[in-house]
């Protein structure tokens, strides 16, 4: 009896750290042969393991196409296992939409597959990928075990291509980062928007060019789609999330410009109260403060100098 109880406790002790690091990835069917793994509208924490991002896959006649691989090797492996529960077709191609770590650090789980990204994304991952991985280790801990930045093996050339019974349009834009890949599956009408679009979560801006981002969102409102998979937040069938992202980015830009012209200092701006429409966005406070630290210095540098010191 004692041995039995000991055995139960021992197996529980051995099992708990592993089961505690289960991302519980459940594919959500969003269109014919198209699935998304939808992450939480949170910051990176040791309890979510970095599962705050959306990834996706399409089952084509020639195999499975994966769009983004999540924040860690563990996520990538669990994603691949979840895909294999939907189809026995092999994964044949992976795309990274941009260089942010929660979108590509699962690449190692697909190292036998060709992994493609835009040229500048590849250069960014090559230059900064390991630092990004270190940062995520600090924020989420053991979930990241074994994770290293695997640089994509090939370049996506923008344009329209047929693959496995689907017509894919690969679009290169910029603004969220210096290279943002949008993928439109014209066959199913699904738009994989990456982090150009945030739905119901405060946008992140560590590599943003706000003017470029607004232009890209304006361009996006002309792209026809039936379903939009944003980089973060629920999958949608409407254009509201494009507008929501645009309004937020425009508000950031106007707020920073005015604050810089009025000589408001950075510490003061950190505690600026966002307007009511943004106050309910998850993680608004922390993301706004991060945006101040990323972007405000360049607004200050460009500000019109005051004619008279105050
Ligand atoms: Zn991003
Ligand atoms: Zn992201």
Ligand nearest to the CA of 180: 1
What average pLDDT score do residues 215-223 get? 96
Proportion of the chain above pLDDT 70, given as a percent: 92
- Report CA(17)–ligand 1 centroid distance (Å): 29
Q: Can you tell me the mean pLDDT for 231-247? A: 97
Q: Cα 256 vs. chain centroid, distance in angstroms?
A: 24
pTM of the model: 0.91
Give the model's pLDDT for residue 10: 43
- Cα 103 to averaged position of ligand 1 atoms, centre (Å): 7
CA distance 140 to 59: 31
State the DSSP code for 48.
Answer: T
Whose tokens are 């055995």? That residue is: 7
pLDDT at 309: 54
pLDDT above 80: residue 117:
yes
CB-based burial label for 137 (10 Å; 0-12, 13-18, 19+): middle
> Do the Cβ atoms of 178 and 124 come closer than 8 Å?
yes
Per the prediction, the chain carries an average pLDDT of 92
Whether residue 224 is predicted with pLDDT greater than 50 in this model: the reply is: yes
**Separation of alpha carbons 305 and 285, rounded Å:** 29
Q: What pLDDT sits at residue 6?
A: 44
Q: Ligand 2 mean position to 63 CA, how many Å?
A: 26
- Alpha-carbon distance 201 to 206, whole Å? 15
Ligand nearest to the CA of 54: 2
Cβ 52 vs Cβ 44: under 8 Å: yes
In the chain, the number of structural domains is 1
The pLDDT value given to residue 20: 75
Given this model, what pLDDT does residue 60 score? 98
Q: How far is CA 117 from the centre of its chain?
A: 14
Signed CA dihedral, 168, 195, 104, 39: sign only: negative
- 52-93 residue pLDDT tens: 999 999 999 999 999 999 999 999 999 999 999 999 999 999
CA nearest 178: which of 211, 220, 134? 211
Please tell me the distance from the alpha carbon of residue 140 to that of residue 142, in angstroms, as a whole number.
7
152 within 8 A of 117, measured Cβ to Cβ: yes
Handedness of CA 192, 196, 202, 208 (dihedral sign): positive
Position 2 pLDDT exceeds 60: no
Whether residue 9 lies inside any domain: the answer is no
CA–CA separation, 237 and 211 (whole Å): 26
Separation of 117 CA from ligand 1 center, angstroms?
14
Dump the DSSP string for 16-30: HHHHHT-----PEEE
CB 32 within 8 A of CB 11: no
Q: Is residue 102 part of a domain?
A: yes
**Residue 140 covered by a domain:** yes
Which residues, chain by chain, have CB under 5 Å from ion ligand 2?
100, 195, 231
Residue 293 within a domain = no
8 Å CB contact between 283 and 204: no
3-class DSSP state of 232:
strand
Residue 178 has what pLDDT? 98
Q: Is 96 inside any structural domain? A: yes
**Residue 160 maps to which CATH number?**
3.60.15.10
Mean of the pLDDT values across residues 126-130?
Answer: 97
Mean pLDDT of all residues in 178-196: 98
Distance 106 CA to ligand 1 centre (A): 15
User: 168: domain range?
Assistant: 22-239
In a domain, 259, yes or no: no
Q: Are 97 and 152 in contact (CB under 8 A)?
A: no
Residue 146 clears pLDDT 60, i.e. is over it? yes
Percent of the chain with pLDDT over 90: 89
Taking the centre of ligand 1 as the mean of its atom positions, its distance from the CA of residue 100, in whole angstroms, is: 5
Lowest mean per-residue pLDDT among 107-111, 203-207, 274-278, 306-310: 306-310
Which has the closest alpha carbon to 30: 193, 164, 174?
193
3 state SS of 167: strand
- The answer as to whether 111 is a domain residue is yes
147 assigned to some structural domain: yes
Q: Residue 103: which of 35, 181, 31 has the closest Cα?
A: 181
**Is the pLDDT confidence value at 5 over 90?**
no
- State pLDDT tens for residues 240-254: 999 999 999 999 999
């Amino acid at each position: 009896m004692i041995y039995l109880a000991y055995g139960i406790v021992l197996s529980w002790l051995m099992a708990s750290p592993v089961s505690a690091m289960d991302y519980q990835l459940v594919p959500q069917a969003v269109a014919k042969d198209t699935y998304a793994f939808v992450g939480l509208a949170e910051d990176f924490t040791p309890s979510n393991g970095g599962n705050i991002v959306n990834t996706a896959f399409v089952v084509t006649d020639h195999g499975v196409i994966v769009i983004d691989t999540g924040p860690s090797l563990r996520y990538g492996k669990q994603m691949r296992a979840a895909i294999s529960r939907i189809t026995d077709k092999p994964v044949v191609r992976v795309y990274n939409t941009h260089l942010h770590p929660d979108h590509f650090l699962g690449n190692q789980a697909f190292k036998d597959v060709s992994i493609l990204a835009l040229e500048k994304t590849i250069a960014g991952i090559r230059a900064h990928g390991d630092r990004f991985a270190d940062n995520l280790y600090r924020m989420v801990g053991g979930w990241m075990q074994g994770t290293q930045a695997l640089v994509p093996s090939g370049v996506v050339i923008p344009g329209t291509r047929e693959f496995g019974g689907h017509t894919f349009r690969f679009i290169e834009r910029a603004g969220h980062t210096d290279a943002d890949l949008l993928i439109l599956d014209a066959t199913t009408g699904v738009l994989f928007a990456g982090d150009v679009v945030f739905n119901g979560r405060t946008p992140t801006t560590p590599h943003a060019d706000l003017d470029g981002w607004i232009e890209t969102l304006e361009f996006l409102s002309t792209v026809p789609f039936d379903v939009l998979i944003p980089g973060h937040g629920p999958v949608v069938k409407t254009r509201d999330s494009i507008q929501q992202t645009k309004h937020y980015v425009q508000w950031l830009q106007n707020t920073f410009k005015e604050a810089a012209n009025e000589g408001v200092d950075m510490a003061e701006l950190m505690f600026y109260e966002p307007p009511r429409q943004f106050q309910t966005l998850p993680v608004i406070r922390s993301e706004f403060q991060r945006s101040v630290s990323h972007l405000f210095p360049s607004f200050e540098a460009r500000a019109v100098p005051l004619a008279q010191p105050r």
